[in-house]
Amino acid sequence: MRYLILGSGPAGIAAAKAARKQDTDAEVVIATEEHAAPYLRPMLPDLVSGERELAGIGDPQGKDLADLKIKLLGGKRGRRVDAAKNRVAFSDGSEETYNFLCVATGGRPILPLALMGAPGSFLFLNSLGDAQRVRERGMRSDTTVVYGPGYLGIEAARAMRKLGNQVIWINPGLPRFGNPISGEAEAQVTDQLRARGVKVHEGTEIADVIDVDGKNFEVVTAGGAKVRCHLIVVATERLPNIGFLEGSGVKAGAGVLVDEYLRTNVSNIYAAGDCAEVFDINRRESRINFGWRSAMKQGQLAGENMAGGGKVFIRNAEDYFGLLYGTPLLERAGA
């Protein structure tokens, strides 16, 4: 039996380990577009701020993959899935076959329309490479605009302020996907950021970005405010990274549609983590995942079920909020 997992985040690694535990003689392969060893994406702001070194954001889940005889293939970006032939084609021209496939490719950030015409003004904060570029450029900058709602915007603003930049956070409001922070918690965190010198523009969008001289940029908000900065950090919502599934026959909405067993409409293809739109049997609705701990639990369940586990996923609110929101986030913002 051959299990192929796309993605080396918490969902992908958990799926691979669970499949290995259930089927000790199987071949288990993780294919990821990342070149770096598995790392914890929620810790990227700490890398930007200098609170952690690269070694400090490594994912403990990924340290024993070789010992478990789980093969990790880096630099593999999925291009097409041929569900009829159980085969995945990658952008480097290679292919991998499978008996069971788990899609755990996470998400990609949304780029505001106003920034599409100003490519030199901004950097994303989504991957390890992004974080390294943001830190390098931030150390040469005095003023940074952070754009993004909720938790992601908060963490980016906190990190850039910790780095020593003057920070203006443009918060467009509640995210459309994932799980918004409760009003009281967000208000408390925002107050703490203000106390640390972060200027906040709430409930507005970036309307335009003007390149002043190649090094300085003027950001114009929808409310007419003008902000001069050296860098814009985009910390927006992440939409499921599933474009490569087009034409595969795997059904998708905003994310890969899976049932309560994390199985797609194609019987030997599963999905887990931030790319999955999971059916919640309690609420009788599908919703996109958001949260590191939840992604890990989904991956584990998907891996077990690929190997015949037959277990049902039960959504637990603590899996979404426990590690990201509430007191831990308040402590981080005030640190």
What number is the average pLDDT over the span 8-27?
A: 96
What is the tens place of the pLDDT at every residue in 59-70?
A: 999 999 999 999
Rg of the chain over all Cα atoms, to the nearest angstrom: 20
The reported pLDDT for the residue numbered 189 is: 84
The reported pLDDT for the residue numbered 112 is: 87
Give the tokens for residue 109.
Answer: 């950030």
Judged by phi (left if over 0) then psi (alpha if -120 to 50, else beta), residue 23 lies in beta
Residue type, 35: H
What is the tens place of the pLDDT at every residue in 269-305?
A: 999 999 999 877 676 667 777 677 888 999 999 999 9
The reported pLDDT for the residue numbered 326 is: 44
Residue type, 123: L
The reported pLDDT for the residue numbered 188 is: 85
Residue 1 pLDDT exceeds 80:
yes
Residue 92 pLDDT exceeds 50:
yes
Give the tokens for residue 296.
Answer: 């890990």
DSSP 98-131: -SEEEE---EEEPPPGGGTT-TTSEEE-SSHHHH
Going by the DSSP 8-state scheme, the letter that residue 67 receives in this structure is T
The reported pLDDT for the residue numbered 94 is: 97
Give the tokens for residue 230.
Answer: 């050296």
More confident residue, 110 or 326: 110
CA distance 62 to 127: 17
CA distance 245 to 258: 14
For residue 321, what pLDDT band results from cuts at 50, 70 and 90?
A: very low
What number is the average pLDDT over the span 85-91?
A: 98
Domains of the chain, first to last: 2-107+239-321 (3.50.50.60), 111-236 (3.50.50.60)
Residue 172 pLDDT exceeds 50:
yes
What is the tens place of the pLDDT at every residue in 237-266?
A: 888 999 999 999 999 998 999 998 999 999
The reported pLDDT for the residue numbered 110 is: 87
Evaluate whether 1 touches 90 at the Cβ level (below 8 Å): no
| Helix residue ranges, H only, 175-316 | 183-195, 292-306
Residue 144 pLDDT exceeds 50:
yes
Residue appearing with tokens 């998708």: 252
